[in-house]
Structure 1
């Protein structure tokens, strides 16, 4: 399910802007459409997280999200007019908040906290493998056939994703465990939403991730822009390579991240992930060769494997016994999503008014602050002994 869900999602993002540009959309219109998708995604994550905690049918929530993605892909392929593209982007943004919590809830409900780090690592292995393979396939479709085929393929891939989802047995998903509820004498306990606001470690962790996204979210768009300004022809095939290369690293490393987090703890690995972002920004600020820029994207894969796996695992640790696992995950996703939106806007403005070197150095400086704050304020969250 993770593999084919990633396949479906890969058709969006960078390929949408390339597709709309080929249809002679203005930069303002493309930016507005992408902003609608981003805003709807940010708005939807908290309600979707709360829904994932409360609804018993986690598989039903995932199925609804997959169907919405399929509809969005068909709208883009068959009706690429302004109103239908906005509807498609809004639908896709909302599903991003549904699928992530649903998959996380299913995972936790199946294996519990004791095995969650290993399960999340395996999830991201198949997710990244799907991203990498489909990015290459869709790059080929866009280059040698038509960009419309990218979204038709994304819609078709909903079918095997639903088949994979159907093979998960609903009776094996423990409802209380899936929301990280505590165990009391009278049954599972669920804390109030206001209790999350008192969880200082969760708030600090969200702040660290927001700073990380403020640095990270602009890196690939800026690299793409620099490649586009070079002599190297920049098309859907090269873009797919920029997406696929880090994902291959994520696919290889993610299970090891989950495994090592049980051996060494969460914080040491998380510091490595944040530190790699500092190195990546520093290197980007001093090189302009197109092939070297692409090669440095490997660091994004290493950092992405660490951050993506440990974000879910640490939120699981910090919300143990609250019954608000997916709501907390949605809140953190909203904060990091807003930081990513601010990052792209500020970096573009800084690029125009200064230079590429200054922009990348500024992003690296933000990553330094995030790493220092993480080291100083975040405790080790791995429990000495798991309750389940």
Structure 2
């Protein structure tokens, strides 16, 4: 019996070692200089972006802005980001200077951060939020395009996993660091720090070798009979049933997800605990740490098992999370429940880009398709905040959480019955 247990243990350890080696070989496509440059660029760009999110509302509230004015400028930023996604994707597909797009975005983010720190009037804050929104809409597809252009389709899933590992780590560490700056130095220091962090982001970007970025591969273009790049028309995306079904599932997932944390944090605030601020911060940071740990493995496992099983698992996790939020009263246990968001977040963040790359292979329209999916997801998030806010107000938070679980279940059914596995039997590159 003991020998059999030892044999099973040795077999499992050998399998884990083999999987680690396979995963490592997929991640080590392209030169180490470009790989590490892309890693750390994602880390520092996340640092800069984190300075805008919730900290803008925190900063403006401290300056005695009204809740309505804060909501207006944040909405301006969200609308600018959403509206820039499709043009940003189209621009990324069209131009060869992808690194310049990201560099321009990083410099613009520095300018927006300095505007917030030095001149926090309504007009200038609106300008800063617009700049932030537009550059985020351009940089996101550009980073995905560079990733695809460097590693190709075969290693794309593992590369996107690494991108999100460094991005999540940057988010988590910066949330903690900027919170400390705001508390002990001054709230405007959040934005001075965000501006300063653009310098290492630009330095990391410079390490990505231009000659390793294949422009045609970066937009997922095919080849004609003479070996020249072949692009399909935009109508090909509208006729792509797999892209449409995946987008429907993503809309329902985001509808369930977007306002879930906000309602849970509101419950924490109403509890009146002396540790409510600490618990709320933990609920934000903890999932990012889970994403940082799991994202590379999601990319690897999507090659081993396929995309659809992981996608369905993310819906199941979301349903469980919503139900638990609806019935758990302990504020401490809410942090543990929020760890589930890290699991579903790791799957969704990696697979959204990977699946769009799968279903647009050979079209040359990868980045604009990714932008279109991002736009409808953003719209779904806005609808979620309004719709479930009304449900919570009229029927209670438990009803809102159960409604979110129902939305996630509907999305899971769409994926189960209508969406096919997209992992190709053989990659074109």
Give yes or no for TM over 0.5: yes
Aligned partner (choices 240, 243, 251) of residue 199 of structure 1: 240
Q: Which residue of 2 aligns with 1:356?
A: 397
Q: Secondary structure at the match of 1:113?
A: coil
Offset at 1:185? 2.6
Q: Which residue of 1 aligns with 2:200?
A: 160
Question: 1:370 and 1:259 mapped to 2: Cα distance?
Answer: 24
Instruction: Show CA shifts across 1:90-136 (max 9, x none).
Output: 11111121111010000000010011011111111111111111111
Q: Which residue of 2 aligns with 1:177?
A: 217
Offset at 1:375? 0.8
The 8 Å contact of residues 279 and 335 in structure 2, kept in 1 or not, is answered as no
Q: Which residue of 1 aligns with 2:336?
A: 295
Question: 1:86 and 1:338 mapped to 2: Cα distance?
Answer: 20
Aligned partner (choices 83, 87, 110) of residue 70 of structure 1: 110
Question: 1:188 and 1:57 mapped to 2: Cα distance?
Answer: 17
Q: Which residue of 1 aligns with 2:142?
A: 102
Larger-Rg structure: 2
* Aligned 1:1-388 pairs, distance under 5 A: 1-186=41-226, 187-233=228-274, 238-388=279-429
Offset at 1:233? 4.2
Offset at 1:242? 2.4
Misfit runs of 4+, over 4 Å? 233-239
Question: 2:129 and 2:277 mapped to 1: Cα distance?
Answer: 20
The 8 Å contact of residues 142 and 236 in structure 1, kept in 2 or not, is answered as no
Question: 2:187 and 2:352 mapped to 1: Cα distance?
Answer: 34
Question: 1:356 and 1:20 mapped to 2: Cα distance?
Answer: 28
The 8 Å contact of residues 258 and 309 in structure 1, kept in 2 or not, is answered as yes
Q: Secondary structure at the match of 1:125?
A: helix
Root-mean-square deviation (Å): 1.2
Offset at 1:226? 1.4
Q: Which residue of 1 aligns with 2:36?
A: none
Q: Structure 1 residues 150-159 or 223-232, which shifts more?
A: 223-232
Structure 2 CA distance for partners of 1:70 and 1:143, relative to 1, 3 Å = same
Count residues in correspondence: 388
Question: 1:312 and 1:150 mapped to 2: Cα distance?
Answer: 30
Instruction: Show CA shifts across 1:144-164 (max 9, x none).
Output: 232211111111100100000
Offset at 1:296? 1.2
Offset at 1:183? 1.6
Offset at 1:238? 4.9
Q: Secondary structure at the match of 1:321?
A: coil
Which runs of no fewer than 5 residues in structure 2 stay unpaired? 1-40
Question: 2:84 and 2:171 mapped to 1: Cα distance?
Answer: 23
Question: 2:278 and 2:62 mapped to 1: Cα distance?
Answer: 14
Normalised by the length of structure 2, the TM-score is: 0.88
Instruction: Show CA shifts across 1:304-325 (max 9, x none).
Output: 0001000000000000000000
Structure 2 CA distance for partners of 1:55 and 1:236, relative to 1, 3 Å = farther
Q: Structure 1 residues 301-310 or 137-146, which shifts more?
A: 137-146
